[in-house]
Structure 1
Amino acid sequence: MFTEIFNQTGLLSERLNNYEFRPQQLIMANKIGEIVKNKEHLIVEAGTGTGKSMAYLVPFIYWTIEMKKRVVISTYTKALQQQLMNNDLPLLKKMLNVDFRFALCMGSENYLCIRRFFYANRDVAGTFESLRDVEEFRRLDEWRKITRTGLKHEIGFEPKGTVWTKVCRESELCLHQKCEYNEECFYGRARKLQNQSQILVINHHLFFANMAAGNMLLPSFDGVVFDEAHNLEDIATTYLGVDISNSGIRYLLDSIYIPQTKKGLLSRIGLKNDEIIQHIGDLKFATDQFFLNIHGLLGDNAQTTRLKSKNFINNIIKEPLLSLVSALNKLKKSINNEADKIEIDANIERLQRVDDSLDCIINQSLEDFVYWIEMTRKARYIRVVLHANPINVAQRLKATVFEKIAPVILTSATLTTNKSFDYIKSRLGLDTASELVLDSPFDYNKQALLYLPQNMPDPREDRYIECAAEKIEELLTLTHGKAFILFTSYSMLNKLHEIVTKSLPNFNHIRQGDFPPAKAVEMFKANNNSVLWGTTTFWQGIDVPGKALQCVIITRLPFAVPDDPIIEARVEYLKGQNIDPFRNYQVPQAIILTKQGYGRLIRHGDDVGVVAILDSRITTKGYGKLFIQSLPLSRRVGTIEEVVGFMEGI
C-alpha cells in the first residue's frame, strides 16, 4: 500500500540523505493503513529504530484528507512532539504533495494573555510580590514584542510561577469575544489553526485533561495515535483524580488579598473590603489548623499515608470558605467592570472546587478510588496534599476512548512482556484490537552486551551496597564513565553515589536533584567521561546517541514500592478479582520499565555498549526469565572479564 513511499527507491529515499530501508516500518505503515480503513484498533510494539512516527503519520495523513477527518497524535515527551512538529510533519507536507495542515496543541496556561499582561502592567507594584518578579516581568515584555506564538516554552528563560501565572491565559478569566485584544489573542489564533488542521499534536496530559474537562479543550477529532503508550495508565490515573493542598489553598487566598503587602485582586480593582479581608484571614487560619491537625494525626515521619476510613478529620475549612464565597458574590454585584467580575467569578469557582474536593476526599464519595495523603518537607513549611485517584482506569478508558473513537493506535518500543500484550491491554481496557510486534532493525547481538554479574547478593541484603559499589567502579573504570546508573530510590542512589564518587573522583558525576533533568542530560552530553545518577526520570524518554553513552547500569529491578497507596490499592483490587497481582501486575509493570531502561543504550545503528543489571533476582527467581525473555536478544555474560573482551572489541 505504501511501498512507493518507504521502499529502497521510494519518496523517502529521494528526500532523505543516508535513508535506510526498514521492512518493519513498511509493515507497520501498511497495517495501520488497513486498520484506519476499517475503523479498528491496533496495538503495535515497534522496536527502537523502526521509524514508527513516519509509519503512522503517512496513513493518517491520507485518511484525514480523503475522508475529511481529524486525528490526534498524543505523545509523552516534549522531544517527540518537537520531532513531529519540526521534522516529520514538515517533511511529509513537502514530500507527499498533499494539502494538509497540522498544529501543536498546548494547554491554554502555556500562552501569554495580552489582556492580563497589560492589566498587570498598569499596576506592576500592586501585582508582583518582589523586585525580582518585576524585573522578570520586564524581560517578558521584551519577549512579548517579538513572539509570534506567545508560547511559554519559546521564552529564552524559565519564568517564575509567581510571574507567569499573573500573565498567562486562564480559561476562567477569558473574556472571549468581549476582549479588546481578541483579534491579537495568541491562544485564539492557535485554536483557529487547530480547527483548520487535520493533524493535532498533543501530549498525554492534555488528552486526559480534555477528557476530564468534558472534551472542551480540543477541537473534535475522529482518530487517535498514542505514541509512547506505555505511560498511559499513570497519566490517566493522575488526571482523572482529585487533589487539594495547603500550598494550593494559600496561593488562591493570596491571589485575592495579602494583608501584609496589601497586594492581590482586591488591590488591583481598587476595593478594600473589610468583610472579605476578615473572611480571608479566618479561612487562612482554619486552613493552617486543618493541615496542622492532619500533620498531628500522621506524625513527623509520615510521607505518604493511605486513608482507609471515611470522615478521618473534621472539615473546619468548610464554614469560613463558604462565608468567603458568599461575601465575594455580594461584592460582585457592586462591580461594573466586566474583567473584574470575571476574575471574581473565577475565584469563587476555584473556592467551590476546593470545597467539593475536600468533601470528596474526606467523605470518600468516589467508588473504586484510593484516598491518600502526601507530606513533603520544604525549606519553610511542610507541604500536605490530599489525593483521590481511580484504582483502575480500564473501564473509564474503555467507555470514553475505545468504544467512542475509532481508529485508535497504541504504539511504543515497550508494550509487551514476554512477547504478549495481555498486561497493557488489561490495564487500559483495550478488549478488542489487532496486535503487531516488530523487532528493532538494530543488531543487538553485535551492538549490546547484557552483563548479569555472578554471585551478587539479593538487593535487600545488607552487603548489597558494598558489592554493587564494587561492580559499578569496575564498569566505570572500563568504560571511562559514559554511563547511566539507574535506581528505584533516592536512598540507594545517595549511598552508592557517596561511595563511588570518593573512589572515582575524576569522573564528571551528575546526580539527579542537583540539576534540572534537561540540564543534567545536556551536561552529560557535553563531557565525555560523565556518569549520570538517576531515578525514574532517567529510565525513559532520554536520548543520548553515540559514544557519549556506552554503559547503562540497572541497580535493582524496578518493582513499584508495595506500600505506595495506589500500588497497594491496585494489588487489593486484583486480589478481589481472584487475580494474582504479582504475576499479572507487579512483574509486568517492572518488565516494561526495565525494557525502557535497557533502551537508553542503543539509539542508532552504530551505538554500542553494555547493559549491566546488578539485581541477582533476574537469575535466581522464577520470574527472572520473563525479564530476560522480554529484553532485546543480545549476548549475555556473567563476568567482568567477558565485559572487558567485548569492550576491547568495539
Structure 2
Amino acid sequence: MKDVEKNLAVQAEKNGYIGWCRNKAHEEIDYIFQELMPKHGLNVREAQLRLSHEMLDSLWGKQIALCDAGVGIGKTYAYLTACIILDKYGEKGGSISKPGCHPAVISTSSIALQDAILKEYIPFLSRILLEENLIRRPLKAVVRKGKEHFVCDQRLEQRLSAIQGKRKNEDQRQALLSLRTSYDMDQAHGLSGFDRRLICVPKFCPKNCPGRQTCRYRRYLERVKGAGIHFQLCNHNYLLADASHRAKGYRPLLSDYRALVIDEAHKLPEAAGQMCGKSLCSDDIQEICYMLEKEHQGIRAGRLKAKMKKLFHVIAENHTFEQEQRIAFQQTEECVSAIKESAAFLYEMARRCRGSVSKWVRGRLEEAGMVLCYFLVPNRKYILYLEQDGERLPVFCATSRRVPAYLDKMLWERGIPAILTSGTLKAGNGFLRIRQTLGLEETNRKKKTGVQEYVAESPFEYKRNCLLYLPQDGKQLRHGSQEESAWIAKQIKQLTSSTHGHTLVLFTSYSLMGSVYQILRGCLPYTMVEVWRHTQEEIMRFKKLKNAVLFAAGSCWEGVDFPGDMVSSLIIVRLPFAVPDPVREAEKEQYGNLRRYIEAVAVPDMQKRLKQGFGRAIRTETDTCVVTILDQRAARGGRYYEDVLCALPSCQMAESMEDVERFIRRRKNVDYYM
C-alpha cells in the first residue's frame, strides 16, 4: 500500500512539474509576440499569437494540427516560435529534454521559402531571443536536399572536359564553371536540366572514388548531421524519401526529430504522387545514353536514341496537348505497336548488356521498359496519362491510386506530432477535402493520433480595402464561344480604364488567354504583358512597368507577390475548376454520381484555387484592390454564387462599373495616376 501511495505521489509531482513547464512555455510565447517582437519593429497580431499557442498545444499533445492561416498572419514566426519553446520546455520522460537533441523538421514545397526561413526568420529570432537570454546558444538550421541537388566534383570535371572547344550556350557554360566554387546546383543560374542530371552526385557513390577524401558533398553531410542543429529544412519529396527509408529499414536521410512542420501543406499530396509514381521522358533516355557512352557502349546508345526518338514522335503525332495539361493515352494501333517494340528493345538491351555495363544502367533500362509496359497492360495500382516536357515531347506518367494511404503509412502512423499549415487548407465550410487527400481521414479513424483543426483569419481589413465585383450582363453567352471572348475583352478594357492599369488578369486556359489578348492587342493605353513559358522574366518586366496589365495563367495563381499599387485590379476570368484529366476521372469513380463528386471534390478544389488567386490582390495591410470575377456562374443567382462568397473574405460588393471607379478614386492618391 505504501508503494502505491509513493508512486502516486511521484506521479503527482511529475504531473505538476509538467504542468508548470507547459504554463511557462505559453507565458514565454505571450512575451515574445506581445513585447519582444514589437521592440524589434514587428506589430502585435492577436491572430498570430493565438496561432502559435494552438501550434504549441498540438505539438505538446503529440497531435496533428491542420492550421489554415490567412494572408498576412505571419505563420512562419508562429510555428518557429512554437518549435523553439517546445524544444526548451518540452516533456520527455517527465523531465526537460536537452535542447537541440531532436531538431525539428520544416518541410516546404519551394526553395524561396526555405531560403527565407534560413536567412531571415531564424537569424532574426536567434538574435532577439539571445539578447533576452531566452535561449543559451544561437539557433542553427540546415537545408537537407537530395543528391540530385549537389554537384559531383568528378562528374563536373568530366563534363567541362567534354564541352571544351565545342559549341555551348554561354550562360550554361558559365553556370557549370561557377560550380567549381559552389557545390549547390540550385545556386547556379542558367544550368540546363540535362547538365544537372549529368553532374549531380550519383545515386550510388563508388567506395573507391578518387575524390572521396575531398568530396564537398561528403563534407556537407558531415556538417548537417552534426550536433546542435535546431531545424532541418527540406522539401516535401525529401521528407517522404526519408519516411520511405525508415519504413524499409534503411538509414534515415534526416536526423531523428520529434516535431514536424509542413508548410505549403496543400502541395504534399502532389509530392506524394510523384514519390510513389513512375514516369519516362526524353531526358531519362538521354541520361541512359550518356552513361552507356561513358561505359564504351556508343553503338548501343545510338540505337537506343533512334528507337526512342521514333517512339516519342509517334506518341506526339497521335495526341493533342495543351500547356500544363494531363491527357489520356490513346491506344491507337500505331501507338501500341511503337510501345511494344520500344519496351521489347529496352528489355533486350538490358539483357544483352549484362556483364558489360553497370548494374545502375541495366536497372534504368529495365525500369524504362516497365513504365512502357504499364501502357500496354493497364495496372489498377496506377493511373496512366501523358504530359509534355519543356521541349514539347510526351512524358509517360503512372500515378499511384493510393496516395492518401501512402501518406498515412509513411508519415502519420509514426505518431510524430505535426503542424500542417497553408492559406488554403480549408475549403468552403471545412477541412474534409484536405483531410481526405492527406490521408488524415484514415488516421483519424484509426485514432492513432488526434487531428485538430484551426483557422487563423487574415488580419487585413478586406471589408475596407477590397471591393468584389461580380458583373451579371454576360449570362446568355455560350461558354467558349467567340462572343464570350469578346465580352471578356470588353470587361477587361473597361476595368483597366477604371483602375488606370495596375491589373492582373488570371485565366484558367492558355488558349482563352491568347484569344482575349489578341482581341485587346493595341486597344489598351497600358502596356500588356503576357506570361507563357518564361514566367519570371515577364513578371519582373510587369513589376518594373508599375501600371501595366499582366495576362497570366497556370503557376501565377499562387506564390507570386504584387504588393502596393502594382495590382489594384485583379480580374479572375473563370472560376478555377480543375480541367478533367485521367487522374480526376479515376477519382470520380469513387463517387456514386456526378453530383456527389462535384460537391465533395470539384467545388472544394475550386474554392482552394480561388483563394490562392484572390490572395494576389491584398499583400500588405495598406493594399487596396478591386477583385472582379467574370464567370457568370459566380454572379448573383449563379450556380456557384454562394460557394464563391463562402470561399472568400467578407468584402464590399460592387453593383456596377461606376462603383469600381468610385472605390479607386476614393482609395488612391494622386501619385497612383501619374
Same fold per TM (> 0.5)? Answer: yes
> In structure 2, which of residues 656, 662, 665 is the aligned counterpart of residue 648 of structure 1?
665
Partner of 2:368: 354
Note if 1:207 corresponds to 2:207: no
> In structure 1, which of residues 492, 498, 507 is the aligned counterpart of residue 518 of structure 2?
498
Partner of 2:396: 386
Aligned with 1:544: secondary structure? coil
The letter for the 1-side match of 2:304 is: L
The letter for the 1-side match of 2:627 is: V
d(CA) in 2 for partners of 1:446, 1:483: 20
Partner of 2:409: 399
Partner of 1:371: 384
TM-superposed deviation, 1:520: 2.3
The letter for the 2-side match of 1:190 is: Y
TM-superposed deviation, 1:294: 4.3
Moved more, 432-441 or 97-106: 97-106
d(CA) in 1 for partners of 2:146, 2:550: 32
Q: 1:84/1:580 Cα in 2 relative to 1: closer, same or farther (>3 Å)? A: same
Partner of 1:47: 70
8 Å CA contact retained: 1:280, 1:324 = no
Q: 1:299/1:396 Cα in 2 relative to 1: closer, same or farther (>3 Å)? A: closer
Aligned with 2:471: secondary structure? coil
TM-superposed deviation, 1:573: 2.5
Aligned with 1:575: secondary structure? coil
* TM norm structure 2: 0.83
For structure 1, the residue ranges without an aligned partner over 5 or more in a row are 258-263, 333-343
8 Å CA contact retained: 1:279, 1:320 = no
> In structure 1, which of residues 232, 247, 251 is the aligned counterpart of residue 286 of structure 2?
251
TM-superposed deviation, 1:621: 3.2
C-alpha distance after superposition, 1:605-626 (max 9, x if no partner): 1111111100110133343202
Note if 1:507 corresponds to 2:526: yes
d(CA) in 2 for partners of 1:111, 1:301: 33
Q: 1:385/1:607 Cα in 2 relative to 1: closer, same or farther (>3 Å)? A: same
Partner of 2:617: 601
Partner of 1:554: 572
d(CA) in 2 for partners of 1:128, 1:252: 20
C-alpha distance after superposition, 1:156-208 (max 9, x if no partner): x3112343333222223x235x4343344332233223323331112224334
TM-superposed deviation, 1:500: 1.8
8 Å CA contact retained: 1:485, 1:532 = yes
8 Å CA contact retained: 1:445, 1:633 = yes
**Residues 303-452 of structure 1 aligned to structure 2 (within 5 Å):** 305-307=327-329, 313=337, 315-332=340-357, 344-365=358-379, 367-374=380-387, 378=391, 383-431=393-441, 432=444, 433-452=451-470
Partner of 2:206: 175
Partner of 2:94: none
Aligned with 1:573: secondary structure? coil
d(CA) in 2 for partners of 1:189, 1:460: 58
The letter for the 2-side match of 1:570 is: E
Partner of 1:225: 261
Partner of 2:156: 117
d(CA) in 1 for partners of 2:103, 2:615: 32
The letter for the 2-side match of 1:403 is: E
Q: 1:522/1:622 Cα in 2 relative to 1: closer, same or farther (>3 Å)? A: same
The letter for the 1-side match of 2:294 is: L
Note if 1:38 corresponds to 2:61: yes
Note if 1:108 corresponds to 2:129: no
For structure 2, the residue ranges without an aligned partner over 5 or more in a row are 1-24, 91-96, 445-450, 668-674
d(CA) in 2 for partners of 1:410, 1:138: 40
> In structure 1, which of residues 187, 193, 200 is the aligned counterpart of residue 217 of structure 2?
187
TM-superposed deviation, 1:232: 2.2
Partner of 1:584: 600
The letter for the 2-side match of 1:474 is: Q
The letter for the 2-side match of 1:587 is: V
d(CA) in 2 for partners of 1:357, 1:212: 21
* TM norm structure 1: 0.85
Note if 1:83 corresponds to 2:103: no
Partner of 1:198: 230
The letter for the 2-side match of 1:81 is: Q
The letter for the 1-side match of 2:104 is: V
Moved more, 518-527 or 315-324: 315-324
Q: 1:646/1:494 Cα in 2 relative to 1: closer, same or farther (>3 Å)? A: same
C-alpha distance after superposition, 1:357-407 (max 9, x if no partner): 233443333x342112346795xxx62222111235212212221122421
The letter for the 2-side match of 1:202 is: C
8 Å CA contact retained: 2:66, 2:419 = yes
Moved more, 286-295 or 552-561: 286-295
C-alpha distance after superposition, 1:246-294 (max 9, x if no partner): x13541343145xxxxxx414xxxx4xxxx4444444344434544554
Kindly report the root-mean-square deviation, in angstroms, between the aligned alpha carbons of the 2 structures: 2.9
TM-superposed deviation, 1:134: 8.0
The letter for the 2-side match of 1:521 is: I
> In structure 1, which of residues 492, 499, 522 is the aligned counterpart of residue 540 of structure 2?
522
Note if 1:159 corresponds to 2:181: no
8 Å CA contact retained: 2:569, 2:626 = yes
The letter for the 1-side match of 2:232 is: L
TM-superposed deviation, 1:634: 0.8
The letter for the 1-side match of 2:543 is: K
The letter for the 2-side match of 1:171 is: K
Q: 1:359/1:210 Cα in 2 relative to 1: closer, same or farther (>3 Å)? A: farther
Aligned with 1:436: secondary structure? strand
8 Å CA contact retained: 1:559, 1:587 = yes
Note if 1:234 corresponds to 2:252: no
Note if 1:483 corresponds to 2:523: no
Q: 1:250/1:503 Cα in 2 relative to 1: closer, same or farther (>3 Å)? A: same
**Residues 250-269 of structure 1 aligned to structure 2 (within 5 Å):** 250-256=285-291, 264-266=293-295
Aligned with 1:615: secondary structure? coil
Partner of 1:335: none
TM-superposed deviation, 1:78: 2.8
Aligned with 2:550: secondary structure? strand
Aligned with 2:566: secondary structure? coil
d(CA) in 1 for partners of 2:70, 2:256: 31
8 Å CA contact retained: 1:128, 1:134 = no
Q: 1:69/1:600 Cα in 2 relative to 1: closer, same or farther (>3 Å)? A: same
8 Å CA contact retained: 2:499, 2:661 = no
8 Å CA contact retained: 2:502, 2:567 = yes
Partner of 2:551: 533
d(CA) in 2 for partners of 1:116, 1:133: 19
Q: Percent identity?
A: 25
Partner of 1:460: 479
C-alpha distance after superposition, 1:38-60 (max 9, x if no partner): 11110011111111111111121
